[in-house]
A and B are shown apart, each in its own frame.
Chain A
Amino acid sequence: MNLLNKISIWFIAIVLLVTPLSMYISYSNIKKRLDNVEIERLRSVNNYVAAQLKRGETPEKTSQGLPISIKPYTGSGIIPTNPEIIHTCLDNNGPSRNECKIQINTFVTAANKTYKISSYSYITSTEQIMKGMLTALLLKVLLITAIVFITARILSRYILKPFHHAIDNIHHFNIQKREPLQLLSTSTNEFKKLNEFLRLMTDKAIEDYTSVKEFSENASHEVQTPLAIIQSKVELLAETEINAKQAALLTDIQNSIDKLTRINRSLILLTKLNNQEFLTHEKLKFCRVEKETIHAYSDHIALKNITLNRHCEKDVYIKIHPALAEILLNNLLSNAIRHNVKNGNIEISLTHKFFRISNTGLPPDIPTQELFKRFKKSNQSTESIGLGLSIVKQICEVNTFPVHYDFSDGWHCITVYFDSTENHSLFTPTSYSTPAQEIENIKPSLNFAE
């Protein structure tokens, strides 16, 4: 239940509680007033008659349109000085059904005789007033409810606008873009506080994020120059007169520099991917890149005597930065080759919906999704630096391509879906029978045999 409805319901509950109470108060007040007015009138009539009696005049049967009866007082004891008020609401039928009779008896002594002067009148019965008020009450409550709901909706749009705006902005807030939060100015204190808090929080987050980012970026770049120096010195050293022992040492140094260089490059690439430096709006002919990549690795495929099966649809255009497409495919294919067995197989299929690469290989030691993490390696082979798949994952995330890694029956299968909106099951059965397909079977073509 949203805030608005909650407030409205509480408000209406209060109205429902207060209105009958106020109705009761006004009802009793009105009744009292009406009675009082009538009683006053009757009393003044009685007084007038009493004065007439005292003066010895004979009063008329009616006075001021009210019937009057004058009877000698027969009761014994003390004569009451105050007038007697009698309310009678008769439950009879007829014209006086909705009325109540109010009678005033005044006792007066004139010429040694005590008279009881009675006058009476009919007033509208309280039931009638009650009924009228109830109808009014119902209408009133209905009206209030309706107006509360309608105006709440209209007004809330105006009053809660800064709030909704802030919520929307936080929702779309992307720390990687490093844009400060834009909030609507408001005169509501609560929202002012909220906005101020949000602004402080996001500014601080951006600041921290930027400094961490800059640090890792700078660190990676700063490492490059010393690496270049070491690299060049080792190469110059290799040019001098050296013996086999020294050469072996230099080879080890070379290998380590090489690995360090690769790690550093990969980290820089990951940083850049995080920085969204590869945004593009153009579509790339993905199948062409894929073909080129396979071509680039034909040597490697041939050396391991791997059989590569390729099922590709034609004219597959994907929105991805060309450099990323190349790195993505390079990493996936080199991964499939490196972790393959000798005389193994690689299956590549490319459709408009997904790219899938499967290779034969040893079962992984750790859960397949874990392999996307940085520096996670299934078998700690020294050749691999353990960043290839995390780069793949990062590239897919940047382009919002879901990616899955499965292992079953000796096949490693990585699938990259190009459409993030579709619900992808882990294994979608596919048929490769559409005419616009290119089916190729690349057998080892280069002969590296002795």
Chain B
Amino acid sequence: MKILIIEDNKELAHSMTYYLEEEHYICECAYNYNEALERLSFNTYDCLLLDIMLPDGNGLNLLNHIKSEKINSGILIISAKDALDDKIKGLEKGADDYITKPFHLPELHARLRAVYRRKKMDGYNDVRFNEILLNTDTFEVFIHENRLDVTQKEFELLLYFLVNKNRVLSKQSIANHLWGDHTDNLANFDFVYQHVKNLRKKIAIAQGNDYVETIYGLGYKFNASKYNGS
């Protein structure tokens, strides 16, 4: 997957690049509006990460350009403004999703994958890893082709793990992914623990491998290479 990161803050752009390159994506950065225009005219990208507030122009105008040039990239807006109308405007102008700063990198990645799935893999909604198969359309989980009965939260959790394989997922990041921004004033970490435990138990009962590891007190990790040796 080829990604263009349009973000004026270099440190943040570097973090994103660093994270996404580990997923073997090709990342390019544009630090301002004109640079973004230039890059868009020479290259095609699968996905764009677009900061709305750029030093030399509004990211929303870039959306107009993308629309008029019929550039078929998945677009994920990144904004410091949690403004609703920005969100609506952005989505109306052809953006696929919207994420507010500050965000968790795994969350960004999960959103990016979701955008990519919708935009680029037309209708193919399966996410597969070894014996685990997820259908993002029907919210069904299959282990060894047997349907696993999971709640919606457990499904989301598993998908989050699969998208961010081999990554340390903090409890905060998982809680934020599962319950969103506005429910975050509750002690969600206990639920994260409960949900992870339930999910692991369900997969174990269906004779799937337990890939999920606990990383100290920090969070969890879906270790994809855990059963490679055996």
Q: Does B124 touch A at the CB level, under 8 Å? A: no
Given contacts A231-B103, A231-B104, A323-B84, contact A384 B170 (CB under 8 A): no
Question: A228-B101, A299-B153 are known contacts. Are A334 and B186 too (CB-CB below 8 A)?
Answer: yes
How many A residues are at the interface, by size bracket? 35 or more
> Contact between A232 and B19 (Cβ–Cβ < 8 Å)?
yes
A200-259 residues at the B interface, CB under 8 angstroms: 221-222, 224-225, 227-233, 235-236, 238-239, 242, 244, 247-248, 250-251, 254-255, 257-258
Assess whether A235 is in contact with B170, with CB atoms less than 8 Å apart: yes
Stretch among B42-50, B137-145, B177-185 lining the A interface: B177-185
CA of A384 to CA of B185, assembled, Å: 6
CA distance A337 to B190 in the complex (A): 14
Whether B185 and A244, one on each chain, are in contact in the complex, defined by CB atoms closer than 8 angstroms, is no
Q: Is the CB of B168 within 8 A of A221?
A: no
Q: Is the CB of A330 within 8 A of B15?
A: no
Q: Using CB atoms and an 8 Å cutoff, list the residues of chain A in contact with chain B.
A: 221-222, 224-225, 227-233, 235-236, 238-239, 242, 244, 247-248, 250-251, 254-255, 257-258, 261-262, 265, 268-269, 272, 277-278, 296-297, 299-300, 303, 323, 326-327, 330-331, 334, 337-338, 383-385, 388, 446, 448
Nearest CB in chain B to that of A278: its residue? B84
Assembled-state Cα–Cα distance A392/B218 (Å): 33
Q: Which residues of chain B come closer than 8 Å to A222, judged between CB atoms?
A: 80
Closest to B84 in A: A323
Q: Which residues of B does A touch, CB under 8 Å?
A: 9, 11-12, 15-16, 18-19, 22, 80-85, 100-106, 151, 153, 167-168, 170-173, 179, 181-187, 190-191, 194-195, 198, 215-219
Q: Find out whether the CB atom of A327 lies under 8 angstroms from the CB atom of B186.
A: no
List the A side residues contacting B184 at CB < 8 Å: 258, 262
How far is B53's CA from A224's CA once the two chains are assembled, in angstroms?
12
**Chain B residues whose C-beta falls within 8 Å of the C-beta of A258 in the assembled complex:** 172, 184
CA distance A239 to B83 in the complex (A): 32
What is the CB-to-nearest-CB distance from B102 to chain A, in angstroms, rounded to a whole number?
Answer: 4
Identify the closest chain A residue to B178 (Cβ).
Answer: A299
The residue that B173 contacts in the complex, of A227, A235, A268, A448, with Cβ under 8 A, is: A235
> If A235-B106, A239-B167, A300-B191 touch, does A385 touch B185 (CB 8 Å cutoff)?
yes
B217/A236 in contact, CB under 8 A: no
Check A300/B186 contact, CB under 8 A, given A238-B218, A254-B170. Answer: yes
